[in-house]
Structure 1
Amino acid sequence: MQAETGEIPASAATRRAVVTTACVAVAVAQMATTIYLPSMPALGTDIGAGDSVLQLSVAVFVVFAALPVVAWGRAAERFGRIPAFVAAGLCFVLASAGLALITNATELLGLRVVQAIGAGGIAVVGRMMIKDLFTGAELARQLALLSMAFVVALGGGQVIGGIVTSTVGWRYGFVVLAVLAAVPVAFALRISLPRREPGPRDKGAAGRLFTDRVFVVSAVAGGIGFAVIVMIQQKSAFIFTDRFALSPWVFGLFGVLYGAAYLGGATYVRQRVRELGAHAMMRQGAAIMLAGCVLVTVVWAFDPPRAIALPVFLAGYVTTTFGQATLFPNSAAHAVSHLATGAAIAVSWCALVQQGLAGIASLAGPTLSGLLAWSIAITLLAAVNVLIVAAPWKSTHSRRHKE
């Protein structure tokens, strides 16, 4: 059965422990951005870093969280899920502790790279452990549960970041990250997974994946959605601080809205994915994201008074977040569910595509001059995604993956 389905036998307690550990890991990895966002203006002032450097620090994190995910996947295949997860977690913990002590932009960027490498590792190995235990619609439901972890990250992380920055200072935000990241590492050390015998490395696996239309389109759709969210996050600290003149703690409180939106989207997926199917829900998510981006563009196209601009911008941000919560878990599940062999390592390739696209977008974001150009760019990306997921797909290579 394991050879045919890719699942490994595990007790209910082990499954719950794995899901819990993966959820906490995903939340902590995302918090590396959301706790950080409210602190960016104050951090920049203290270490003498300009807005472009601070936006680059977000882009660097996304890029370097993506680059090593396949290597982390290979490590998890060779040495085991738990050793790879713990190694990535320790990397994240040490980098986060180091960031609390930085004095200049070079240290900021360098340690954000190390932090990102660890974050990418715990996120992708956590998803691999989930894929080991679940398939099909149940996999999409469990990945939606991972999306609910973003509720903590988007809502709680931003609230924590805003309060910490406004009270004791931005350095303590990184201390909080280091402590939180130690939690899933401790959880993982208590998990005993059934032994997996490493199989022979299939040198043609990547080639087959990237000629499988279902895998490619699903991964790309999730990646574009992620790119849109990252580009909004990248600008939001400066929009709320400069355009709307809000203090960090107020900006942080808005995280509750984003968390609620993500919770709503993830709950919707868990309730309806068995009925509607992952592909249909991806279409819905992409359309909702486009509607949210249009609202954001309206703000900068017409430049209304603050009393109108702020609620419209928030509505666009919340709508886009709900759409991504609907799109992302379905794209991740749909990309690999039809693969009967090698699906676990395919999770890491999917993560590379998704985070890689987000990284490219985050590097391009700071080059866009003006908020109107930026908002048009994210709207165009969302529109492209609607077109990508609109056509019916049929896997042409899924049989080649089966034993």
Structure 2
Amino acid sequence: MEFGYRIKKEWLLDDEVTFLNHGSFGATPIKVIEAKEEIERRLEREPLSFFEGEYPYLLKDAITKLANFTGAKPGDIVLVENATTGINTVLHSLEKELKPGDEIITPNHVYQGVRNTIKYFAERTGAKAIEIDIPFPVVDNKLIIEKITVKINDRTKILIVDHVSSPTALVFPIKELIDLCRSKGIITIIDGAHAPGMTDLNLDELGADFYTGNCHKWMFAPKGCAFLWVSEKWQNKINPLTISLFYGKSYQEEFAWTGTKNPSPWLGLSSAIGFYNLLNFVKVREYNHKLVCDATELICSELKIPVHTNNEMLGFMSSISLPVRLEPNEHITIDLRNHFMKEYKIELAFHNNNGNLLFRISSQVYNEIEDYKKLVIAMKDFKEKNKK
């Protein structure tokens, strides 16, 4: 398939909107939606036969394909609804491992939902939630490793770190951080919400204790499809958030059935991986990475904004400082998103990163550089109208 505007017909995206925010929720291709809907029809035609007959085999097929895609053993992976559920699942199961005074550390580039989860479990256990200040802009992975290393001490129990940061879009040096923590006996939990489909994952080689990732963002799966990878040594200590019929059985059996729900987002994963493979992972990665790097250079040059990182630390997203000074408030990121949709028909993500307002662009195979030229025009207009 030829990338760019010609392939956009494979999605239901509004032609009137310049869609530069694949990163927030993804966009599911029409063929994958149709496969998901066909699964739902089969379920509703004969629910008992589906759940007791087809479902276990379809689930196994989806997990096997996912394991091949992510460089994992099928037995180490279970499916969950989203990466936030994955993080909550792990911390809930590890609650008994935490004692008062233990430290859960994470960089301050953390996703807000995970920040709240860490705070919640720290309050429940008496552990301390420690955020490590990593400046942004940052152009060197060594700085990230150094900042985290100096915060590690005898009380450090868990490191939770993004593979790809949501607010700043940086690809973190997780292999080096995992190796560092393993040498010091620290548990590693990787929030890979944005990584599957963006980075060349090999979960077995990474060697984390826990890794959770979304499939609905960059893997094209239906919404409500994510995974949790657990290293073998921890699998007998991890349970789903909802305990049901298979409590006390195997790790995968417990997660496969947590009560009646619509499994079509999980089972639609096989179609999503098939669609991705049709596009070719290497070609997708080359196209999207080059496009986001070219777009970042274009935007920063035209708006006279410093580039915040180097190309090696970008995947398919890039976060750039807003070209006008605004006073942050609780609703400003939502207000900015709504404003750019209403005034310019451009879909963007906005983040308040420790007081620094950023807009985040995404690149996907249906985008072209012309999309970002439209954004430059809109940003110049916005800047002119908000001069102080």
TM interval, shorter chain, is under 0.3
Structure number with larger C-alpha Rg = 2
Q: Structure 1 length normalisation: TM-score?
A: 0.27
Q: Which has the higher helix share?
A: 1
Pick the structure with more strand per residue.
2
Superposition TM-score, scaled by structure 2 size: 0.28
